[in-house]
Amino acid sequence: MRVLVTGGAGFIGSHVVTALAAQGHEPVVLDLLHPRAHASRPPDPGDGLIRADVRDKDAVAQALRGVSAVCHQAAMVGLGKDFADAAEYVGCNDLGTAVLLAAMAEAGVRSLLLAGSMVVYGEGRYDCPRHGTVRPGPRERGALDAGRFECRCPVCDLPLAPGEVTEDAPADPRNVYAATKLAQEHLAAAWARATGGRAVSLRYHNVYGPGMPRDTPYAGVASLFRSALARGEAPRVFEDGGQRRDFVHVRDVASANAAALAALAGRPAGGFRAYNTGSGTPHTVGEAAAALARAHDGPEPVVTGEYRLGDVRHITASSRRLMSELGWRPSVGFAEGMAEFARAPQREPVTAAAPAPAG
């Protein structure tokens, strides 16, 4: 199958291209290769590379020729630095997706695999000993300044126990990036209904692994820790390091994309389905920093007590739907993956602090 992979020269996209090619597909890569995202040209994915912005409707129309499905990885990622990034996030993620979907509708391409994100949930699942499952509101600046990082019951103020979030949890985006990722899903669902297409969103949890970008505030936390170690510095862990996340290796994410693509043809026309994509084994941010530091033989992490107001405390995945419906299983364990990543090469530092679209 000929498959368009937007953002296919990026961190996750390049691994997806490799996984699809290994399954016998013919990937076509559309990527802007912006110098702020690619300080040096990445390995050439071959003659299928189209260097263009996903918001360029003519380039997208060209890229869609002969294509049977689209794997949409192009996005501006991460929490960013402040709200001044909002227009860039919306332009790249939401306008870019709208341009792509409009071109797919015109070209008659009816299969879409979207790179979603766990950030659409906001905080994860919490249980109160008195009130059962509850949804805490955003954490207040005063509590964070005082070092009170854990969420508490909105009814009785008791401490809450975090659990795994499922795809049926209500969406509650709490920063600009999260809002754009939810909008992408709504656009994909609307496109599927209007065209009789089939759309799947893989809601990635904390993806890490070889090829993550270095020295950029728009990367994931594992990349920030690894970048510090590469500079000979101690990883700086925000809050108290107890934030729970689901760290999933990029090769497992790529294999999930291959599995979802294989299942797309069998999905109902006009339908949209979301799948959590995580390892299923939660770890704290502090544990990730410590594992990387040990494997890198670098300085021990420093817990700073700092925070970012848009961050959530705990968010871990239940990936049972993905496993049961698509037969996918993660294969890279936390210790193994972190040990590999601690020594693996990263993408070169970006050449400017400003964000750039990934495709």
**Whole-angstrom distance, CA of residue 218 vs CA of residue 220:** 7
**Whole-angstrom distance, CA of residue 191 vs CA of residue 194:** 5
Across the strands, what pairs with 316? Answer: 164
**Whole-angstrom distance, CA of residue 29 vs CA of residue 59:** 12
8 Å CB contact between 196 and 269: yes
- 177 included as an active-site residue: yes
89, 121, 126, 177: the active-site residue: 177
Residues known to be catalytic: 177
